Structure 1
Amino acid sequence: MPSQPPLDRWFSSERGMGLAASILIGVVTVTVWATAWSDWYSYQALKRYADDPDRLDEADLISGSLGMVSALVLLAAAVVFIVWLWRVRWNAEMFCRGEHRFTRGWVLGSWICPVVNLWYPKQVVDDIVAASDPRTPPQTLDLREIPGTQLVWAWWLTWVAGLVSGNIVQRGVLGGATEVGDLRTNVVLSTISALFTTAAAVLAVILIQRIDELQTKRPWVPWWAVGEAQTGFQPPAR
């Protein structure tokens, strides 16, 4: 093993990027609830003022405007979060020898590829947490041997629940809904999605802080500069 790390590899603190991601995630939560409120407003407008086109146009304008703002905020939060995830993955690769389940390109690809985006991102984060944990020996060869954390599980399940219920709202009963019954269902699903998304957002912020703590506590020494004496591995308790 080389005694010095290659010149193109280095550790970096990602606390600032993590803070930015956390703030944007909080803003996303606000816009999600604003969107849920606009769905309720549209439902009430149709129920009470079905014969008043001005009221209905106003409700549509509010809904459309909030939808655009929500989409832009979500995009910004996603970009910053993925940049943060990419950088902490870089650190994780240096902390521990263990091979991650996916190449670094999947830090982005896992979120945008259909179907696999329901579980790949969680596995990406699982490996980052495992490699960042100070209890994981630097010479660990297989990160999959390390049990996943309850925090990651809780974050991912609530995120998927919010994503699925949100898609139902957007693409199912909500698409072109004009009947009061359809809009009532829209309000219910939108509220459920907001609840799950809020829980996922809170857990995501905690997860960002947790990974930052792990990477801060772990000595910034690349695995290839650590002696062979640390090759033994005992899966840390979670």
Structure 2
Amino acid sequence: MRCQTCGDATSPAFNECQRCQTPLGQPAITPGVPTYSVRKLGKAAAVAVGAASLLYLPGGLFPVLGVRMARSAAERGDRDLLLGAAAVEVLLTLVFGLAVLTAAVLVIIWTWRVRTNLEAFPGALPTLSPAWAIAGWLVPFANIVVPARVVANVARDSLWRRTTPALVGLWWTAWLVFSGGGRIVAYLEEQRYSRLTQWPRSETEFGTYVRFYQEALGPRLVPLVACLVAGASFVVLIRRISHAQEERIAKATPLRPGHPGAVLPGPGPAGSPTPPTVAGTIGT
């Protein structure tokens, strides 16, 4: 006897498939339980997460340009260049924020769908309700732990793992370092920037802006690297989970009449059994 989910041979010595944990004799999808397609949504979420991660690069590395602009401002005594540097950084921050918002919406919807699909997977053992797939991202303090638990659960039951894939831990650790470290770095920079002379006149006062950007680069590299690691690992997770769930759902999708490969009744002699014909074939 073979498992209807993964196709492996099963043994009566066990109550479930040793590869995918589907109970013996159970179908890949529980009949009557709705499922949601995640192929297109998964691709969109992966692209959005990847784009947001890359769009953090210009802002994270802006101090390199900031140093040049501050030095040029010092040489010319041009305060407008310093204002221009601040304006460019604000613009980069807004673009990144818009990308994050777009990615967040897609990821929340994707998380809810893949978690809801577990309800139709025999052998799946979800620990949190589908509602937490949404609330976990939005509720303060809960969003430090819950999203990782939901995704870990989905990864185990979708990828046929008895333990949580290491990629989940890497993603969430990097995300916490990025989100927490980014806030700390931004707060410290704001405090330092507020102590700079608002309207520099002397070479010394212009020089404080040069030093500000020079000292800002190092701390920014920590959340920058964490952002790239979190983004890359989450993109891989989204693609793997989406692909695995789509394959499992496809095993329970019946062929519709008219679909190539569907068996349809064909003509036969009166009073004789009607032989089947395969839809999509061309007769002569």
Superposed pair shares fold, TM > 0.5:
yes
Question: Are 1:215 and 2:239 an aligned pair?
Answer: no
Q: In the alignment, is the contact (CA less than 8 A) between 1:174 and 1:182 conserved in 2?
A: no
* Residue identity matched to 1:149: P
Q: Which has the higher contact order (CA 8 A, sep 6+)?
A: 1
Q: How many residues align?
A: 209
107-116 vs 94-103, which moves further = 94-103
Offset of 1:82 from its aligned partner?
A: 1.1
1:43 and 1:112 mapped to 2: Cα distance?
37
| Number of the residue aligned with 1:42 | 66
Partner residue, 1:129: 155
The 8 Å contact of residues 96 and 131 in structure 1, kept in 2 or not, is answered as no
How far is the alpha carbon of 1:97 from its aligned partner?
Answer: 5.6
- Are residues 1:21 and 2:45 paired? yes
Residue of 85, 90, 94 corresponding to 1:68: 94
| Counterpart contact for 2:125–2:157, Cα < 8 Å | no
Match of 1:159 among 151, 169, 175: 175
2:115 pairs with 1:89: yes
SS at match of 2:190: coil
SS in 2 for 1:103: coil
| Alpha-carbon distance in structure 1 between the residues aligned to 2:147 and 2:115 | 12
Larger Rg: 2
Letter in 2 for 1:70: F
Match of 1:196 in 2: 226
Which amino acid counterpart does residue 129 of structure 1 have in structure 2?
A: A
The answer for the alignment partner of 1:171 in structure 2 is: 187
Matched letter for residue 138 of structure 2: I
CA contact (8 A) 1:38 1:59 kept: no
Using the size of structure 2 for normalisation, the TM-score is 0.65
Taking the aligned partners of 1:197 and 1:120, their CA distance within structure 2 comes to 19
Between the aligned partners of 2:118 and 2:126, the Cα distance in structure 1 is 9
RMSD over aligned CA atoms reads 2.7
Q: CA deviation at 1:150?
A: 0.7
Superposed CA deviations along residues 35-71 of structure 1, whole A, max 9, x for unmatched, are 1233332344335524421110110110111111110
Using the TM superposition, name which of 104-113 and 177-186 deviates more.
177-186
2:46, 2:239 within 8 Å by CA — same for their partners in 1?
Answer: no
**8 Å CA contact 1:32, 1:70 repeated in 2:** yes
TM-score, scaled to structure 1? 0.76
Aligned partner of residue 189 in structure 2, secondary structure: coil
Checking the alignment, whether the CA contact within 8 Å between 2:41 and 2:106 is kept in structure 1 is yes
Partner residue in 2 for 1:184: 214
Which letter maps to 2:165? T
Query: How far off its partner does 1:124 sit?
Result: 0.7
Which amino acid in the other structure matches residue 202 of structure 1? A
Give the secondary-structure state (helix, strand or coil) at the position aligned to 1:128.
Answer: helix
Q: Does 1:148 align with 2:189?
A: no
The question of 1:78 aligning with 2:104 is answered yes
Unmatched runs of 5 consecutive residues or more in structure 2: 1-29, 197-207, 253-284
How much does 1:126 deviate?
A: 0.9
Are 2:52 and 2:99, in contact at CA under 8 Å, matched by a contact in 1?
yes
Query: Relative to structure 1, is the Cα distance of residues 17 and 88 closer, same or farther in structure 2, using a 3 angstrom cutoff?
Result: same
Say if 1:175 and 1:78 are closer, same or farther in 2 by CA, change over 3 A: farther
